[in-house]
Structure 1
Amino acid sequence: MTKKDKTSRPRSSKKTSAKFPWWKLIASLSVLLAVVFIMLDANVRYGLNERQWQSPARVYSRALTLRAGQFLQADDLRYELTLLGYQLNSDGRRPGSYWQQGQHFSVVTRGNGEQPSQRFQLQLVNERVTGLRSAWGSALDQVSLEPVEIGSIYASHKEDRLLVQLEEVPLSLREILLLVEDRDFYSHWGLSPKAIARALIANIKAGRTVQGGSTITQQLVKNVFLSRSRSLWRKATEAVMTLLVELHYSKDKILESYINEIYLGQEGPRAIHGFALASQHYFNRPLYELNPGQIALLVGIVKGPSYYDPWRHPERAEARRDVVLKLMAQHQLITPQQSDFYQINSLGLAKPSAVAVVFPAYLDLVRRQLRRDYSEQELQTQGLQIYTAFDPIVQRHAEQSLSAVVKTLDESTEGAVVVSDVNSGDIVALVGGREMRYAGFNRALDAVRPIGSLIKPAVYLTALEQPKRYTLVTPISDSPVAVEGGDGSLWQPQNFDRKSHGSVLLHNALAQSYNQATARLGMQLGIEPVLNMVERLGVSRKLPAVPALLLGAGELSPLEVAQMYQTIASHGVSRPLRAITQISDQQGKTLARYPVQSQPVVDAAVMHLLHYSMMEVVREGTGKTVYQRLREDFAVAGKTGSTNDLRDSWFAGFAGDYLAVVWMGRDDNQSAGITGAGGALKVWRELFARVSRQPINLEPPAGVTYHWVDSDSGLLSSGPCDNARYVPFLQGSAPQQKAPCSTSVKGVLQWFRELF
């Protein structure tokens, strides 16, 4: 090979690749880490600050005001005091305590920033308040207890907390919390190698995980910012954020945040966060009233709120509490004698279960009414104080009354109850179903069902507004009726007993709930006037303008029925049903008031006639079993309602103080097999026997006069005549013709009964 050839031969070359300079890689990673760091830093600074300002709206009941002569049972007063977290105490001198001896009570209120603690005593005689006096013996006109907190409106992630400042937290709780969870809290920078090593040794000795090495700052970061995953990246992120929290916040601020944030239990769907809310949840008491045993239980629960749940696992919770109590004694936070004393005590829980005193149906109503004026963001973060008309005592009896009846029926039978104050339209109690402690389908608001005969008072009221055509003694034919529909079909209603009753007086047709007589009357009046009356009574839902409406084919919820009957009970004055009375901000400044609104829509004289007939319903008609539970001399009025195939059982009735609407049926719309009198009425009469103390005012208004008439013909009669009854008439509408009169001892006795 020549030299030329040698040099001209192509050189063998290796592939060369451009190497990425190492410094660029480091620079890129540094930039990435810097971006991540900046994002984490912003998250820490913004997130923790923002967290401290968010506070759910808290909802309160009415405040129980005690007055001389007021009706009150000892059990009800004790129940209210228990809801408030008052402790039964032999000396009865500490705020938030009371002492009971038979019918005598001595109470010390907690007071607040505006009103100091007050000590008073009272005696209950025949279920009436007497001897209302101060601790120094001076007579008192009235005393008000605090309103009961009945719930809160928290964010969609179901977390709830009651914010406190560090100085409001008992020193003993702070000390034992640090002793159990993070002994070196004030000396480390968020990460504690000593704690990690201590936990590692303890876990190796036990052969399982018995102790964690996380500091309080780390636990706070986990709760506020991170998920529950156990990846290496999450642990690294936790470490960085922990250091950032320590950099930006003081130790006291971190501890305060932890005390407000830590998860400590569950109340149905609501997650209990923070020691202040946990104190209310478990003991129904503010933090500053807790004894060492209760503090030990709360601190012990931090290790595992589900595992040490004191309701589901009381033995575990008690054992964990005792460990903490012993530790408190070892470090001289309490004496050994105190430790021994609290170890032999019960856990002291304020209720039998985590959800024993929650009222989801009423809170649902409050939330819906609030949405008209406030955004969800405001309700979930601004700490609004919502004051309502909710009456815990009436609610308790409504729940017990419904429970007593549904237990006797098929387990698929549901129920709902709405109770309002006759004079104000305030909704004082609401039951949404037989599972009263759990949020779900709220039948009181959302069970839109045919109302059956509950529509009939509107039909008869429409007639009574025309005194030249109709009075309570106008004869109506209760004979078969057939109405042809637009499609050629026939509407042929029948009475419940499948019989016709000939000519009946108008008041008797309503009392006995005769379908045929009502249908004939309604067709004479016209469907549109009846619909107009229903609307005037407060029903805004559009109902079908068909003949079947006259017998209750229209569908309403129990709340809508209550609105309609509220106007009837209020003597023709329309008052929109109200749950919320006032709203304040976190500082107690009033933001909004919800005054009672009243508008006369039906003349009181006409409504008095309807009241008479509805009282007859419960005296002689379809609702007469009411007086199996009520006193004979206690005047109430109401109306039963049943629908086709007994799918729905209704009763709506009122006294002088309360109105209540009860519905019973099945969610699948199958037959419940109960009439209005066989189901809903039983709930109503039990409730009113427990809570109602004011009968209907029977004083006739201006424009009404009473006359004796013959019960069969409706013609004028006189008191001692047999078969006579005392009936109200609008001025000038009484019959002129007289009926024949025969007198007997029975007639004279009836005369005395009607008069007296």
Structure 2
Amino acid sequence: MRKKTLLIILPLLFAAILAADLVYLSSLISRRMEEGLLQIPSRVLGREIVVAPGTNVYSSFLFANLERAGYRETTRPRLPGHFAIEGEKITVIPRPDGTGPGAAVIELDDDGDVERIYRGREELPRLSLGRPEIGRLTDPRRQVRAYSPIDEISPHLVKAVIAAEDRRFYQHHGIDPRAIARALVKDVASMSFREGGSTITQQLARNFFLSFRKSLLRKFQEALIALLLEARFSKNKILELYLNQVYLGQRGSEGIYGVEEASRYYFGKSANALTLSEAILIASLIKSPNYYSPFTHPDRTLQRMRYVARAMEEEGYISRREAEEALRKFPTLNMRTERATRLDYVTDAIVMALEEKLEDRDILYGGYEIRTSLDPVLVDLLKETVPRTLSRIEKRYGLEKPLQAAVVMVDNETGETVAFWGGRSYRESQFNRAVAARRQVGSLFKPFVALAALKESKPGFETTLASVIPAKDVSWDTPDGKWVPRNFNGKVWEKATVREILEHSINTGIVALGKRTGLDKVITLCRSLGIGENLKPYPSLLIGSFTYTPLSMAYAYSTIASLGLKHRPRIVESVIRDGVEVVSFPDFPVRVLKPEVAYLVLYALQGAVREGTAKRLGKAFPENVAGKTGTTDDGRDSWFVAMTRDYTICAWVGYDDASPTPLTGATGALPLCEEVLKKVYRAKPPAPFPVPPGIVFRDVDEETGLLATSGCERVVREAFVAGTEPTAFCSLHPPSPLEETGRKLLDFLRDVF
């Protein structure tokens, strides 16, 4: 009787345990699927690669960006992502995210400027070539993967994986009894769990739902999960999940997961572009990626490739001739094995920008496509230039303590942040000085005072670049007593024009100009530029006593370079998932300055580069570059802003603890900007700044600010808003009646033509 009871109870108990286990495993599958079976690091994409007539392919680093975007140079482009260079022509087949379909031809002139773009008989006003990938936001497990739907994976690779790992994949229901029996015999013979015998479905179950510790219980649960997966999902979906999670190698501390990431790592291309030979190699790695690594053990790789090719041939996927052809030559490996993920100032800033919109976990693991305005080639340029330039400065001045720096680059036309770097080395310090360090700006503030004065200019109270401002014995009464500004090195100026004040960074002159204009007007102007929120009406603000970040200074100066159009500082443009825009950061440009007023300051700052405090830069760039130095007391902060028609570059150099340095803006931050400019404009010098309507030019005497005559020794070609130009001739060197008539006629003809 007792035996009978046990015979009844034990099966019921086993059934109950099995049912409970099935319920648990089913809920485990549901939970993991809801969380995201594949925690895919979000991809960070750079700015769109756009070519249009007038684009210089060298200054825009077109070829470097194409390489970053996965394009390959070939002799005859046949596939999307291929391009060829032949003389003055570039033939390119855009990727699916570019302007397609079909090959487009880009014609260049001798300087590398694009003359025309066409596809067949169609002229193209612009050509988009997609976005380069900057990197991935890595997860704590250091697993790197990119998800690809199965219809975007090479059929060669799908067939190679099935042949190598589970030939009966489409016949069984998650468990292959034949394979299990074969594995069991071998395991019993070896008294171990050496042989796998797992189907693709079982491998998927093991890798994502169970531990890697081998035991009979785990094998049993693995089989149950496999059956549940087969009941829930189609064969193609199971295969898709498997192909996107399978471990395929190691890059330093990062694991390479999924065939898409492996394709990019080993061959520098997407999984949909793999050749048969390349597909066989990747499928060969699944058994043991590090043992069969093509980088370290190519002989083992080739041995395994022969096995996979033979299996494909036996299954009828390829012919013997195709198998032999695939094995004839070892696939060419991508030797650029740098990390796909990034942990640096760029990704930190991106995460910070998204924190208010998305959960931290989603930002890292959500599989988002984060579209940014960044140019990865320019970012790398800054990353390399900053430590190298700082080392040279330290050596020149005998500095034992390492300097720090930050650089920001803004595209003046679009208002986009195209590059930045927040310190000497992210490994040594993760503090992002480009966006977070608030430092006194010193003389970098002076152009904003001049802008306010020029903006407030009125008939009868006109301020022009030629206006002469008293610059001696300047003081300001404050509640704490009389405040007396001093010039750098104690130099005394009797008087100076507004141009000279900016060119030579004259403290007494700018304070006198600010006093004449009014602190309230200066603060109002700064608020319109987005840098006035913390300003107080203290006279010391006129010489930069308040603090700003390099990013805010870059955008304030970019507003000048764009002739008064203010853009919103932004790095992230939008966030996409599954083709749907989840978050966007639109830019709404606002005109805050009249173009002609902004141009006056821009024009004067070109003089600062030619013959003022930034004349060191003028040796390399005598034309079409504007700049302003900034230095605070004891050299604690060295600033420089360089402006071209294309970019505004703001650099800061100093110590985090504000220790004194022997540096000025011209000897610290300026060399950093100079190095960047030399690389950007290595092939072609910067283009001239556009002159807006309403600007006229006159030759004036620098001492009086009046129209120059043949007797004037210091003559400058000055810009004026039409109607504010001087009409009287220099009182110190009066002209003859004939000269006066001739000069007026010449100015009239210049204005007209």
The answer for the alignment partner of 1:90 in structure 2 is: 75
The answer for the alignment partner of 1:685 in structure 2 is: 674
Q: Deviations over 1:138-163 (max 9, x none)?
A: 76554332332334567777755433
In structure 2, relative to structure 1, the CA distance for the partners of 1:264 and 1:375 (3 Å cut) is same
- Secondary structure of the corresponding residue to residue 651 of structure 1: strand
Structure 2 distance, partners of 1:737, 1:126, is: 44
- Residue correspondence of structure 1 range 308-347 to structure 2 within 5 A: 314-316=295-297, 318-331=298-311, 332=313, 337-338=324-325, 340-343=327-330, 346-347=332-333
The answer for the alignment partner of 2:56 in structure 1 is: 71
The answer for the alignment partner of 2:691 in structure 1 is: 699
Gaps of 5+ in 1: 1-20
Structure 2 distance, partners of 1:640, 1:502, is: 22
- Residue correspondence of structure 1 range 140-179 to structure 2 within 5 A: 141-151=125-135, 161-179=145-163
2:730 is aligned, of 715, 725, 738, to: 738
In the alignment, structure 1 residue 614 sits paired with structure 2 residue 614: no
The answer for the alignment partner of 1:120 in structure 2 is: 105
The answer for the alignment partner of 1:625 in structure 2 is: 616
In structure 2, relative to structure 1, the CA distance for the partners of 1:555 and 1:35 (3 Å cut) is farther
1:445 is aligned, of 412, 417, 435, to: 435
In structure 2, relative to structure 1, the CA distance for the partners of 1:453 and 1:248 (3 Å cut) is same
Residue identity matched to 2:90: F
In structure 2, relative to structure 1, the CA distance for the partners of 1:33 and 1:681 (3 Å cut) is same
Structure 1 position 274, deviation (Å): 1.8
Structure 1 position 584, deviation (Å): 5.4
In the alignment, structure 1 residue 569 sits paired with structure 2 residue 561: yes
Structure 2 distance, partners of 1:71, 1:36, is: 65
Contact 1:106–1:119 (CA<8 Å) still a contact in 2? yes
Larger Rg: 1
The answer for the alignment partner of 1:277 in structure 2 is: 261
2:525 is aligned, of 533, 546, 549, to: 533
Residue identity matched to 2:333: L
The TM-score, its normalising length taken from structure 2, stands at: 0.80
2:551 is aligned, of 551, 559, 563, to: 559
Contact 1:84–1:284 (CA<8 Å) still a contact in 2? no
In structure 2, relative to structure 1, the CA distance for the partners of 1:254 and 1:706 (3 Å cut) is closer
In structure 2, relative to structure 1, the CA distance for the partners of 1:148 and 1:439 (3 Å cut) is farther
Structure 1 distance, partners of 2:609, 2:266, is: 45
Structure 1 position 621, deviation (Å): 0.7
Contact 1:120–1:132 (CA<8 Å) still a contact in 2? yes
Residue identity matched to 1:194: R
Contact 2:625–2:686 (CA<8 Å) still a contact in 1? no
Residue identity matched to 2:444: L
- Secondary structure of the corresponding residue to residue 610 of structure 1: helix
Residue identity matched to 2:80: P
In the alignment, structure 1 residue 718 sits paired with structure 2 residue 670: no
Structure 1 position 475, deviation (Å): 3.9
2:175 is aligned, of 189, 209, 220, to: 189
Q: Deviations over 1:692-721 (max 9, x none)?
A: 66534353542x544433212334433663
Structure 1 distance, partners of 2:115, 2:598, is: 37
Q: Deviations over 1:211-235 (max 9, x none)?
A: 7666544442343234567799767
Structure 1 position 732, deviation (Å): 4.2
Query: RMSD of aligned C-alpha atoms?
Result: 4.6
1:638 is aligned, of 627, 630, 634, to: 627
1:428 is aligned, of 418, 423, 431, to: 418
The answer for the alignment partner of 1:38 in structure 2 is: 23
Structure 1 distance, partners of 2:480, 2:292, is: 67
In structure 2, relative to structure 1, the CA distance for the partners of 1:720 and 1:388 (3 Å cut) is farther
Contact 2:564–2:595 (CA<8 Å) still a contact in 1? yes
Structure 1 position 118, deviation (Å): 2.3
The answer for the alignment partner of 1:5 in structure 2 is: none
- Residue correspondence of structure 1 range 178-217 to structure 2 within 5 A: 178-182=162-166, 187=172, 189=175, 192=180, 194-195=182-183, 198=186, 215-217=199-201
In the alignment, structure 1 residue 542 sits paired with structure 2 residue 534: yes
Which range is displaced more, 148-157 or 413-422?
A: 148-157
Residue identity matched to 2:73: L
Residue identity matched to 1:168: E
Structure 1 distance, partners of 2:633, 2:191, is: 68
**How many residue pairs end up in the alignment?**
715
The answer for the alignment partner of 1:514 in structure 2 is: 506
Structure 1 position 563, deviation (Å): 1.9
Structure 2 distance, partners of 1:699, 1:432, is: 34
2:700 is aligned, of 709, 718, 725, to: 709
- Secondary structure of the corresponding residue to residue 90 of structure 1: coil
The answer for the alignment partner of 2:398 in structure 1 is: none
Structure 1 distance, partners of 2:475, 2:307, is: 84
Structure 2 distance, partners of 1:86, 1:512, is: 48
Residue identity matched to 1:67: A
In the alignment, structure 1 residue 647 sits paired with structure 2 residue 636: yes
Structure 2 distance, partners of 1:131, 1:271, is: 44
Q: Deviations over 1:339-368 (max 9, x none)?
A: 55433x54234x25224x969544554554
Structure 1 distance, partners of 2:506, 2:191, is: 79
- Secondary structure of the corresponding residue to residue 700 of structure 2: strand
Structure 1 position 72, deviation (Å): 1.8
Q: Deviations over 1:274-317 (max 9, x none)?
A: 2123323443322121134433443455456677777xxx324x
* Identical columns (%): 29
Structure 1 distance, partners of 2:241, 2:429, is: 30
Contact 2:368–2:577 (CA<8 Å) still a contact in 1? yes
- Secondary structure of the corresponding residue to residue 488 of structure 2: coil
Which range is displaced more, 641-650 or 233-242?
A: 233-242
1:99 is aligned, of 79, 84, 88, to: 84
Contact 1:401–1:684 (CA<8 Å) still a contact in 2? no
Structure 1 position 38, deviation (Å): 1.9
In structure 2, relative to structure 1, the CA distance for the partners of 1:720 and 1:459 (3 Å cut) is same
Residue identity matched to 1:326: R
Structure 1 distance, partners of 2:468, 2:614, is: 22
Structure 2 distance, partners of 1:229, 1:480, is: 83
Q: Deviations over 1:665-714 (max 9, x none)?
A: 34454456543222332332343344466534353542x54443321233
1:728 is aligned, of 719, 722, 738, to: 719
- Residue correspondence of structure 1 range 218-617 to structure 2 within 5 A: 218-226=202-210, 238=222, 240-264=224-248, 272-302=256-286, 314-316=295-297, 318-331=298-311, 332=313, 337-338=324-325, 340-343=327-330, 346-349=332-335, 351-355=336-340, 361-371=345-355, 385-392=369-376, 394-395=378-379, 397-399=381-383, 401-402=385-386, 405-410=389-394, 412-435=402-425, 440-467=430-457, 468=461, 470-479=463-472, 494-523=486-515, 525-539=517-531, 541-543=533-535, 545-581=537-573, 586-587=578-579, 596-617=587-608
Structure 1 position 727, deviation (Å): 2.4
Structure 2 distance, partners of 1:742, 1:203, is: 111
Residue identity matched to 2:691: E
Structure 1 position 625, deviation (Å): 1.8
Structure 1 position 556, deviation (Å): 1.7
Contact 2:49–2:132 (CA<8 Å) still a contact in 1? no
